[in-house]
Every structure is written in structure tokens, then in C-alpha cells.
Amino acid sequence: MTRAVVVLYVFALVVVVVGVDILFFRQYFWARLLVNVGIVMIFGAFYLRFSNGS
């Protein structure tokens, strides 16, 4: 993957995490933490699956 694709991927991760935090879990610290960890793990799994080993 090129550097630009990785930067866009990380930007998408940040946008999703912040969006979910603001829209759904603003007042719930532990739920927000668990969902954020889950989102990062899902993004990491997709990155590892589709990065073609590079």
C-alpha cells in the first residue's frame, strides 16, 4: 500500500471513532472505550487482510 492510502485509511479510522463517540456514546465512558477498541481492531484486521503483506 502506498503512503497516501495508509494516510487516508488512518484518517477514515479517526473519523469513524470520533463520529461514533459523538453520535452514540458521549456520556458513557466504558462503553465508548470498548467500542473504540473494537473499531480499531476491525480496522486493523481489514488492514492486515487487504494490505497484501507489504
Domain that holds residue 14: 3-50
State how far the Cα of 9 lies from the Cα of 15, in Å rounded to an integer: 10
pLDDT in tens, 2-14: 899 999 999 999 9
Which three cell numbers mark 11? 484518517
Assess contact for 14 and 36: CB atoms under 8 A: no
pLDDT in tens, 14-35: 999 999 999 998 899 999 999 9
The count of structural domains within the chain is 1
Q: In sequence order, what DSSP letters do the residues of 1-54 get, joined into one string?
A: --HHHHHHHHHHHHHHHHHHHHHT-TT-HHHHHHHHHHHHHHHHHHHHHHSTT-
Residue 27 CA, distance from chain mean position:
20
Q: What is the pLDDT of residue 42?
A: 96
